[in-house]
Amino acid sequence: MSSHPVPQDLPTRIQHYIDGKFVDSIDGDTFDVLEPVSNEVYVKAAAGKKADIDLAVAAATRAFQEGPWPKMLPRERSRVLHRIADIVESRDARLAELESFDSGLPITQALGQARRAAENFRFFADLIVAQADDTFKVPGRQINYVNRKPIGVAGLITPWNTPFMLESWKLGPALATGNTVVLKPAEFTPLSASLWAGIFEEAGLPQGVFNLVNGLGEDAGDALVKHPDVPLISFTGESRTGQIIFGNAAPYLKGLSMELGGKSPAIVFADADLDAAIDATIFGVFSLNGERCTAGSRILVQRDIYDEFVERYAAQAKRVKVGYPHDPETEVGSLVHPEHFAKVMGYVEIGKDEGRLVAGGGQPEGFEFGNFVAPTVFADVKPDARIFQEEIFGPVVAITPFDTDEEALELANNTKYGLAAYVWTSDLKRAHNFAQSVEAGMVWLNSNNVRDLRTPFGGVKASGLGHEGGYRSIDFYTDQQAVHITLGKVHNPTFGKQDPAAEENRPTDLEDPDPR
Ligand code: NAD
């Protein structure tokens, strides 16, 4: 194995950050963190349990009930968020270096994710000052307005693919709206998350507003989900974990946002711009090492162009540059962890029985160590194949032919997932009609996954519940209290008005009610 550089000044241990202080776990427990090129332990991280979550939630609750953050003007909070964005931007190279080292993501892509994290804060900083709420007037009778309020302590549970960026996606709107938070980052990749505390302190976020507890999902994550003082859980991760969290949160009737797994189709019709479609579908499944929830990991290709597509696609996939994560030339780095590597390699072996291997199929030449996987392409994959149905979350793609639009749609919808879909055709009518019928939370027509932060993000079926993105994130992290005000005469249906005693003394019609 060749050597690869280790970032300068790596922390010697990773701690929790609770109520403005870095702390170890109460029981002193730690877990090993590996770097994915050598799979060697490079640092130990504090392994949080229920007791640590209790402390973090207590700090966040205090900061919410007694601290200034929820009561600050949106403009004041916005300034803090912009400062956070400035700091993240100014440290993008360091963030990318650490993220790439910890996760195995190629450095150029980790840099893009660091900048996106800054952009997420800037976006919500802008949105919160532009936020307007509804007012409804019934002329002369009533005004009704929406009083938007932060909810309390938000529990944020995040995965290991693009960890820093995905954390920013939740932290940005949760903080912009005045909540306080407890973040439980993924245990495979705790390094970049440990930088938030310093960034937030420098930007002037009040003490206790941000708390971080590291640890395993079934310990720290579970305790956060089951904590009665955490009314909101925003979770991104596997569909199976989402189901468990859904069940565990049910007795507390928590607000849940679930961004889950995917097995998204890219549908290439014969009339598509083939060069663009090939470039996009290569990038769509091999970028971020294929560890991408919206990866177009099933490519459905119309039969007329199928053979040409497969041949060109396989040739290009073989040219995708696998390399060390720190190398700016690298297009596919090392998968995050040996456990995940074993899972992906398991699917590569399954695929050899289920499809025709036309590229990859193991570790790439010169990288027969660590968690490197060659971009792997299977053609002629049947819809009942496991590699067609199950999320692999690595650089592995299944290609399947189709004849008609109806068949393409049937194949596209033939999984339990429904996160994204990509359609390649030059027929506008077909593209829009396909978008209407495909079971996916997000559709890109003749486009790669390029996201406008204002649009809804989320999946249908097993890919998620609820939408985040733009105002939907603001909605998730706030209560919209309706306030009703009478303007004119009070219109009351009067129950219980007839007092029998008053009835007896009431003047009869024979008496003069007005003795003047
Ligand atoms: P995961 O579900 O294993 O873990 C995600 C997080 O949940 C981790 O922090 C983990 O510690 C925690 N967790 C695990 N068990 C828990 C429990 N019982 N209670 C509370 N928390 C628990 O997912 P992963 O392997 O880290 O991430 C990959 C998955 O994430 C893929 O399925 C991918 O598609 C999905 N993902 C989805 C999106 C999206 O927006 N839809 C984005 C990125 C990743």
Question: Do 106 and 251 fall within a single domain?
Answer: yes
Q: Each residue of 330-340: pLDDT tens digit? A: 999 999 999 99
Question: Do 237 and 357 fall within a single domain?
Answer: no
So what's the pLDDT on residue 454? 96
Ligand 1 atom index nearest CA of 459:
41
- Tell me how many domains the chain contains: 2
So what's the pLDDT on residue 500? 72
Ligand 1 atom index nearest CA of 186:
9
Residue nearest to atom 12 of ligand 1 (CA): 217
So what's the pLDDT on residue 513? 42
As a whole number of angstroms, the distance between CA 469 and CA 497 comes to: 52
Question: Do 178 and 285 fall within a single domain?
Answer: no
Per the domain annotation, does 418 fall within a domain? Answer: yes
Domain carrying residue 154: 13-260+468-476
So what's the pLDDT on residue 2? 52
Largest CA distance in the chain: 113
Q: What is the mean pLDDT of the chain?
A: 96
So what's the pLDDT on residue 511? 43
Question: Do 123 and 250 fall within a single domain?
Answer: yes
So what's the pLDDT on residue 516? 37
Position 63 pLDDT exceeds 50: yes
Q: Each residue of 164-184: pLDDT tens digit? A: 999 999 999 999 999 999 999
50, 227, 293: residue to mutate for ligand 1 pocket, most atoms within 8 A of CB: 293
In the structure, which protein residues have their CB atom closer than 6 angstroms to any atom of ligand 1? 157-161, 166, 184, 186-187, 217-218, 221-222, 225, 236-238, 241, 244-245, 259-262, 293, 391, 393, 419, 459, 464
Q: Which tokens is 451 given?
A: 């996201």
Question: Do 221 and 336 fall within a single domain?
Answer: no
Q: Taking the CA atoms of the chain, what radius of gyration do you get in angstroms?
A: 27
Per the domain annotation, does 514 fall within a domain? Answer: no
Per the domain annotation, does 399 fall within a domain? Answer: yes
Ligand 1 centroid distance, CA of 118 (Å): 22
Question: Do 236 and 290 fall within a single domain?
Answer: no
Ligand 1 centroid distance, CA of 72 (Å): 33
Contacts of 478 (CB under 8 A, 6+ apart): 148, 149, 150, 151, 177
So what's the pLDDT on residue 254? 97
Contacts of 135 (CB under 8 A, 6+ apart): 143, 144, 145, 146
Question: Do 168 and 181 fall within a single domain?
Answer: yes
Position 458 pLDDT exceeds 70: yes
Question: Do 289 and 158 fall within a single domain?
Answer: no
Instruction: Give the mean model confidence (pLDDT) for residues 144-161.
Output: 98
Ligand 1 atom index nearest CA of 160:
26
- The predicted model scores a pTM of 0.95
Q: Each residue of 296-330: pLDDT tens digit? A: 999 999 999 999 999 999 999 999 999 999 999 99
Per the domain annotation, does 119 fall within a domain? Answer: yes
So what's the pLDDT on residue 505? 56
So what's the pLDDT on residue 503? 59
Confidence of residue 4 (pLDDT cuts 50, 70, 90): confident
**CATH number where 118 lies:** 3.40.605.10
Q: Each residue of 277-299: pLDDT tens digit? A: 999 999 999 999 999 999 999 99
Contacts of 145 (CB under 8 A, 6+ apart): 133, 134, 135, 136, 482, 483, 485
Ligand 1 centroid distance, CA of 462 (Å): 13
Ligand 1 centroid distance, CA of 494 (Å): 55
Q: Each residue of 477-512: pLDDT tens digit? A: 999 999 999 998 888 888 988 877 765 655 554 444
Ligand 1 atom index nearest CA of 241:
2
Instruction: Give the mean model confidence (pLDDT) for residues 186-198.
Output: 98
Q: Nearest Cα to 445, choosing from 229, 247, 310, 276? A: 276
Percent pLDDT > 70 in the chain is 97
Per the domain annotation, does 516 fall within a domain? Answer: no
How distant is the alpha carbon of residue 240 from its chain centre? 15
Phi, psi of 406 (to 5 degrees): -65, -40
Question: Do 227 and 103 fall within a single domain?
Answer: yes
Choose, from 187, 259, 391, 468, the residue flagged as catalytic. Answer: 259
Per the domain annotation, does 272 fall within a domain? Answer: yes
Per the domain annotation, does 515 fall within a domain? Answer: no
Instruction: Give the mean model confidence (pLDDT) for residues 232-251.
Output: 98
Per the domain annotation, does 402 fall within a domain? Answer: yes
So what's the pLDDT on residue 499? 77
Ligand 1 centroid distance, CA of 259 (Å): 9
So what's the pLDDT on residue 1? 52
Does 259 participate in catalysis according to the annotation? yes
So what's the pLDDT on residue 492? 86
